[in-house]
Structure 1
Amino acid sequence: MKLANVQQPIRLGAMTLPNRIIMGSMHVGLEKLPNGVERLADFYAERASGGAGLIVTGGAAVLPEGGMGEVYCNVFLDEHIEQLRIITEKVHQQKGKIALQLFHAGRYAYKEVTGLDPVAPSPLQAPINRTQPRELDEAGIERTIAAFASGAVRAQKAGFDAVEIMGSEGYLINQFLSPVTNQRQDEWGGDFGRRTRFGVEVAKRVREAVGRDFPVLFRMSGLDLIPDSTTIEETLQFARMLEEAGVDALNIGIGWHESKVPTISMMVPRGAYVWVAQQVKEAVHIPVIASNRINDIRHAEEILQAGRCDLVSLARPFLADPQIVAKSVQGRFDEVNTCIACNQACLDHIFDGKVASCLVNPMVGREVEWALAQATVRKKVAVVGAGPAGLEAARVLAERGHEVVLFEKQERIGGQLNYARQVPGKAEFNETLRYYQTQLVKLGVEVRLGTEASADELVREGFAEVVIATGVVPRRPEIAGQEMPHVVMYNEVFEHKVKVASKVVIVGAGGIACDLSHLLVHDEVISPEAAEYLLAYRILDAKALHKLQTGKRKVFMLRRGKHVGTGLGKTTRWATLAYLKQNGVEMLTEIEYKRIAEEGVYITRNGEEQVIPADTVIIAAGATPNDALYHALAGRIPVHLIGGAKEAGELDAKRAILEGAQVGRAI
């Protein structure tokens, strides 16, 4: 596929971008590590070398009370200029262009990290913050507007090629615009015109401060996804006002952090919000940038070709593969390590106060120290198990020059990724398997499918070292009645070895059980194309269609403990559980198992015994390491244990791939 539209240059102010792909803003937290700014600079430089047309940094606070703490990037003091210059110099060495995002969190700022009270247009506490904000007075508003302008000047002096004003995702400027968070009755709130004043003034003041030619982007909220917030008509009017204020491009953000609507997780269809950017594009004459769940440059090409926007912003896809643009331009689409929108190592890490990385690319944040070096001694290495841990180990070992043989007892690679990819909304795991399949062929890894390696064979064949990535064995808890014919293990369901009836009880309520429940209640009796036709001609309404699409199974999840979905990511767990509840899955916690009988599972709950009816009982109560081969080889060959074979738990592809990457560099 030719990428004619992607590769077309575009001007923003006096700056010409070489292509239409922007790396969108992300907080990655590298600043808090030793030599943090240098590491952040290396991170951005790697993405610049990979062909990003423009990189937008994570937000740099324009005032201390609106930031994320001292360890993060800030731009409210002159002494910050030289710190930031480290970033621009490294990016420019790679011939890249980079914009600093001017940031103020408003009521989303945490007093625990800033040491200061958060501020907002009105003293309304955010549901994701424990601190009520202080209402900005007139002097505070003027000070904040001036801070955006002076921050832009500092960015200019630090060598940035542009600035982006953060006015989306429920941060301060967005809070002034929305009637939900701005309940003032002075010149800065009330009707729509007064609610727009703060954002427009920031845009005007930044433009005046940096001059006409210096590019100013504005990230505005296309949809708040908050009840009773800004309407689409008001959004389009605000876009026109920003154009008049002198901004050079509008970057369209979707949703607030407190919204109950998933916007960037794997369950969100690709490009689901491009239509919002298209509406803005039709309302203004300046370039408009589309974002959210676009993870393939070919998709970006289609969007641009259709004239739906002028540029496309990809954020997390640049974590998964910093070379995504360069590979795609060269037609090497199958070699792209595609972002699967799992959030597990990026957003989940950030919201837990950790440094961001990437499930499919743990090299993120380790760009310099993990740069692959050729092995000084070429060895013949066996990797046993072609799940995520073994696949990454084999890939890294082969790339470093080792002779690698990959053993897999199943007839296909992937291990338990083959379970995950069956779950509705998790088809992106297919991309990970495609990437590894391509890499194994490209790097000359010998793959032996349908082969269960034994210790004697590995010794006899003369392998110098062995990596054991044999995964896990499903665990059977001690519950009477497990031998009955209607009791099955979770792996048997995923492997289509058993039929599942209409009344189901799942013993366990962790991540595996949630995936199983999702799979079992989903019943796509009507294709998406047919659904569109039926809705268009009003043969069915949305409610009737949903009823048809909902599976006929009744599913219960049982757990001795208190919480359901442990092992699911912080940023996706709520949406998964909401979906399951919406589809009738019942979750019973703090129970005691008594026995399994023909009619169902007997439990004790709140001191009372009851039976949960079941035609099929599925055991999904965790796993134990499959490490027998490791022990059989110990003392005979140098052997390494990784992934589930080392530590059984939930299906933890993040840890598995990380450990595969580590052992691949260690041998």
Structure 2
Amino acid sequence: MLELRNQFIMPPIKLGYSEGDGLVNQKHIDFYKRRSKHIGAITIEPLYLDSGLREIPAQLGIDNDEKNEGLKKLTNLIHLNGAKVIAHLNHPGRMANPKIPGNFFISSTDKACENGGAVPKKMNREMMDDVIKMFVDSAKRAVASGIDIIELQFGHGYLLSQFISPAVNDRTDEYGGSFNNRVTFPLEVLLSVRDAVDVSLIARISADEMISSGIHIEEMIEFSHLLEEKGIDAIHVSAGSVCSTPPWFFQHMFIPKGKAWELASRIKKKINVPVIFVGRINSSKDVELLNEKYDADYIAVGRAMVADSDFVGKILNKVEGNIRPCLACADGCLGGVKRGEGLSCVVNPLVNTSLHEISKADSLKKIAVIGGGLAGMEAAITLKERGHQVDLYEKNKLGGQFNLASLPPNKESLKDIVDYFNAEIESHKINLIQKEAVETDIEKGNYDAIIMATGAVPDISPIKGLKEFYWTEFLNDDELPHG
């Protein structure tokens, strides 16, 4: 049993905050401190088992005892906030980053990922034993660092999944071919870790790789039975492969919400160990649905906790306020890590910036904010929280041009941030003046300061003879093609 104070778990999310040495630093401390106040457990970002197996240059490591001191410091901090700590151990196999000098690549196959990557060496028995030792040694370091639970990655197209998946495993020996052969080595890893440490173990799996030749739910139900027989304490059910179907792995806005929950539900019905549900869980309605429809044992909330570090506290009614929504855009989180800037968030300005928590101003002022787009609304809300008197001018609909962002197909989630700001304007009782601000308004208002947030206007090309031009009209419902 995991024995958490509630059903919420933060899954592993790559931060990219290390300085290239794999060590915990103040950025990690600050990030997890803010997010461990109400949640049941925090899973630290994926920990590399060897410096030659990094997915990103700034990844945290657990490959030697030098890492223990920082991990202990981080673990102690999270424990002080009442949450348990999970170490996510993963060997990327052929999916190690080919752009990082010194990385090496092994797999069940000698073929590279079809969407790019290095050509791996096909593993022999000696290599398998080395991998098992990596997992065991890393698990022991995790326990020595005070970590409570270990999660082993069996999914998402990484090494153990590269053995399980018939789309990747092309072996003709006892580790390839039939389902029982393909799961032999992954189960050897599990049993070796189980024998080495006396803590709860979670298996993270892809219930379906979403490709015709890959892993599918029927085999994963069978695999879940085997995991249960071998002593696993919980199964974390996700989907997709970082090689073949990364959108399913990352669960961004173009992926149908709830499909991963349905897969988890099918596994839950067939086994007797707890199942962790995951995948774009970013609202109170999602949590209600997971509990009422699927009777979820545990709920993993990742990017929702990036967008709003008090997400769980608000769900549990321990923190007041509207939930700042994750838009599933993957721009600041995944994009920031890929750009080498580290994880950030397009809706949460406090993530990976030098900005401080909002505090009351020393002297209070009367301020006009002109323009009710996202920037204007954020400015008005922040000023109000600092104690200022605020008038917000907007002649049209609050949200400005961002109201257009959610109109294209599969981008409906972008509307959530407009709805959030509208709710914040209302709950903060900000004076909304729905008219175009003119000079007399400013004079009569007797304002101490004015913030101009009027946005942009379309640039008209200086083409000779141009009389008619179009901008965003095609996004309006009556302009969109039908049928």
Q: What fraction of aligned residue pairs are identical, expressed as a percent?
A: 30
Asked if structure 2 preserves the Cα contact closer than 8 Å seen for 1:38 and 1:86, the reply is: no
Tell me, in whole angstroms, the C-alpha distance in 1 between the residues paired with 2:207 and 2:405. 32
Which residue matches 1:47?
A: 35
Tell me, in whole angstroms, the C-alpha distance in 1 between the residues paired with 2:34 and 2:320. 19
Tell me, in whole angstroms, the C-alpha distance in 2 between the residues paired with 1:114 and 1:44. 29
Is 2:217 aligned against 1:232? yes
Q: Which amino acid aligns with 2:87?
A: L
Tell me, in whole angstroms, the C-alpha distance in 2 between the residues paired with 1:435 and 1:428. 12
Q: Which amino acid aligns with 2:327?
A: I
Q: Which amino acid aligns with 2:402?
A: L
Which of 91, 97, 103 is the equivalent residue of 1:116?
Answer: 103
Which residue matches 1:556?
A: none
Which residue matches 2:241?
A: 256
Asked if structure 2 preserves the Cα contact closer than 8 Å seen for 1:320 and 1:339, the reply is: yes
Tell me, in whole angstroms, the C-alpha distance in 2 between the residues paired with 1:128 and 1:104. 19
Is 2:304 aligned against 1:322? no
Tell me, in whole angstroms, the C-alpha distance in 1 between the residues paired with 2:323 and 2:4. 23
Is 2:26 aligned against 1:38? yes
Trace 1:128-277 onto structure 2 (pairs within 5 A).
128-211=115-198, 214-260=199-245, 262-263=247-248, 264-277=251-264
Instruction: Name the structure where strand makes up a greater proportion of residues.
Output: 1
Q: Which amino acid aligns with 1:403?
A: Q
Is 2:390 aligned against 1:408? no
Q: Which amino acid aligns with 2:269?
A: E
Is 2:467 aligned against 1:483? yes
**CA shift at 1:38, angstroms?**
2.0
**CA shift at 1:477, angstroms?**
2.2
Which residue matches 2:414?
A: 429
Which of 73, 84, 107 is the equivalent residue of 2:60?
Answer: 73
Q: String of CA shifts for 1:372-407, please: whole Å, max 9, x gaps.
A: 222122122222111111111112121122222211
Asked if structure 2 preserves the Cα contact closer than 8 Å seen for 1:54 and 1:96, the reply is: yes
The total of aligned residue pairs comes to 480
Q: Secondary structure in 2 aligned to 1:477?
A: coil
Asked if structure 2 preserves the Cα contact closer than 8 Å seen for 1:166 and 1:220, the reply is: yes
Q: String of CA shifts for 1:563-596, please: whole Å, max 9, x gaps.
A: xxxxxxxxxxxxxxxxxxxxxxxxxxxxxxxxxx
Tell me, in whole angstroms, the C-alpha distance in 2 between the residues paired with 1:137 and 1:415. 60
Larger Rg: 1
Which of 471, 484, 499 is the equivalent residue of 2:455?
Answer: 471
How large is the Cα RMSD of the aligned pairs? Answer: 2.3
Which residue matches 2:365?
A: 379
Q: Which amino acid aligns with 1:254?
A: A
Which residue matches 1:503?
A: none
Tell me, in whole angstroms, the C-alpha distance in 1 between the residues paired with 2:40 and 2:299. 10
Q: Secondary structure in 1 aligned to 2:180?
A: helix
Trace 1:566-585 onto structure 2 (pairs within 5 A).
none
Asked if structure 2 preserves the Cα contact closer than 8 Å seen for 1:289 and 1:312, the reply is: yes
Is 2:337 aligned against 1:350? yes
Asked if structure 1 preserves the Cα contact closer than 8 Å seen for 2:94 and 2:117, the reply is: no
Trace 1:520-559 onto structure 2 (pairs within 5 A).
520-521=480-481, 523=482, 551=483
The alpha-carbon distance between structure 1 residues 495 and 235, as it changes in their structure 2 partners (threshold 3 A), is: closer
Q: String of CA shifts for 1:526-585, please: whole Å, max 9, x gaps.
A: xxxxxxxxxxxxxxxxxxxxxxxxx3xxxxxxxxxxxxxxxxxxxxxxxxxxxxxxxxxx
**CA shift at 1:276, angstroms?**
0.5
Tell me, in whole angstroms, the C-alpha distance in 2 between the residues paired with 1:456 and 1:125. 68
Asked if structure 2 preserves the Cα contact closer than 8 Å seen for 1:65 and 1:119, the reply is: no
Asked if structure 1 preserves the Cα contact closer than 8 Å seen for 2:107 and 2:121, the reply is: yes
TM-score of the aligned structures, taking structure 2 as reference length: 0.93
Asked if structure 2 preserves the Cα contact closer than 8 Å seen for 1:61 and 1:103, the reply is: yes
Tell me, in whole angstroms, the C-alpha distance in 2 between the residues paired with 1:36 and 1:494. 46
**CA shift at 1:331, angstroms?**
8.6
Trace 1:565-604 onto structure 2 (pairs within 5 A).
none
The alpha-carbon distance between structure 1 residues 481 and 362, as it changes in their structure 2 partners (threshold 3 A), is: same
Q: Secondary structure in 2 aligned to 1:354?
A: coil
Trace 1:281-296 onto structure 2 (pairs within 5 A).
281-296=268-283
Q: String of CA shifts for 1:310-352, please: whole Å, max 9, x gaps.
A: 2121211111111112112229797111111111111122222
Tell me, in whole angstroms, the C-alpha distance in 1 between the residues paired with 2:391 and 2:150. 49
The alpha-carbon distance between structure 1 residues 319 and 196, as it changes in their structure 2 partners (threshold 3 A), is: same
Tell me, in whole angstroms, the C-alpha distance in 2 between the residues paired with 1:446 and 1:293. 34
Asked if structure 2 preserves the Cα contact closer than 8 Å seen for 1:68 and 1:114, the reply is: no
Asked if structure 2 preserves the Cα contact closer than 8 Å seen for 1:41 and 1:88, the reply is: no
Q: Secondary structure in 1 aligned to 2:71?
A: helix
The alpha-carbon distance between structure 1 residues 469 and 495, as it changes in their structure 2 partners (threshold 3 A), is: farther
The alpha-carbon distance between structure 1 residues 332 and 91, as it changes in their structure 2 partners (threshold 3 A), is: closer
**CA shift at 1:464, angstroms?**
2.1
Tell me, in whole angstroms, the C-alpha distance in 1 between the residues paired with 2:242 and 2:470. 40
**CA shift at 1:290, angstroms?**
1.4
**CA shift at 1:468, angstroms?**
1.6
Tell me, in whole angstroms, the C-alpha distance in 1 between the residues paired with 2:129 and 2:374. 53
Tell me, in whole angstroms, the C-alpha distance in 2 between the residues paired with 1:180 and 1:421. 36
Tell me, in whole angstroms, the C-alpha distance in 2 between the residues paired with 1:455 and 1:29. 48
Asked if structure 2 preserves the Cα contact closer than 8 Å seen for 1:99 and 1:161, the reply is: yes
**CA shift at 1:488, angstroms?**
2.9
**CA shift at 1:114, angstroms?**
4.7
The alpha-carbon distance between structure 1 residues 445 and 170, as it changes in their structure 2 partners (threshold 3 A), is: same
**CA shift at 1:246, angstroms?**
1.3
Which is worse superposed, 56-65 or 252-261? 252-261
Q: Secondary structure in 2 aligned to 1:58?
A: coil
Tell me, in whole angstroms, the C-alpha distance in 1 between the residues paired with 2:337 and 2:265. 30
Tell me, in whole angstroms, the C-alpha distance in 1 between the residues paired with 2:51 and 2:88. 15
Is 2:7 aligned against 1:20? yes
Tell me, in whole angstroms, the C-alpha distance in 2 between the residues paired with 1:119 and 1:248. 29
Q: Which amino acid aligns with 1:471?
A: G
**CA shift at 1:409, angstroms?**
2.0
The alpha-carbon distance between structure 1 residues 336 and 259, as it changes in their structure 2 partners (threshold 3 A), is: same
Asked if structure 2 preserves the Cα contact closer than 8 Å seen for 1:70 and 1:114, the reply is: no
Asked if structure 2 preserves the Cα contact closer than 8 Å seen for 1:226 and 1:256, the reply is: no
Tell me, in whole angstroms, the C-alpha distance in 1 between the residues paired with 2:121 and 2:53. 12
Asked if structure 2 preserves the Cα contact closer than 8 Å seen for 1:67 and 1:103, the reply is: no
The alpha-carbon distance between structure 1 residues 147 and 331, as it changes in their structure 2 partners (threshold 3 A), is: closer
The alpha-carbon distance between structure 1 residues 316 and 60, as it changes in their structure 2 partners (threshold 3 A), is: same
Asked if structure 1 preserves the Cα contact closer than 8 Å seen for 2:54 and 2:103, the reply is: no
Tell me, in whole angstroms, the C-alpha distance in 2 between the residues paired with 1:71 and 1:430. 33
The alpha-carbon distance between structure 1 residues 307 and 383, as it changes in their structure 2 partners (threshold 3 A), is: same
Q: Secondary structure in 2 aligned to 1:488?
A: coil
Q: Secondary structure in 1 aligned to 2:99?
A: helix
Q: Which amino acid aligns with 1:216?
A: L
Asked if structure 1 preserves the Cα contact closer than 8 Å seen for 2:367 and 2:451, the reply is: yes
Tell me, in whole angstroms, the C-alpha distance in 2 between the residues paired with 1:365 and 1:441. 28
Trace 1:632-643 onto structure 2 (pairs within 5 A).
none
Q: Which amino acid aligns with 1:38?
A: Q
TM-score of the aligned structures, taking structure 1 as reference length: 0.68
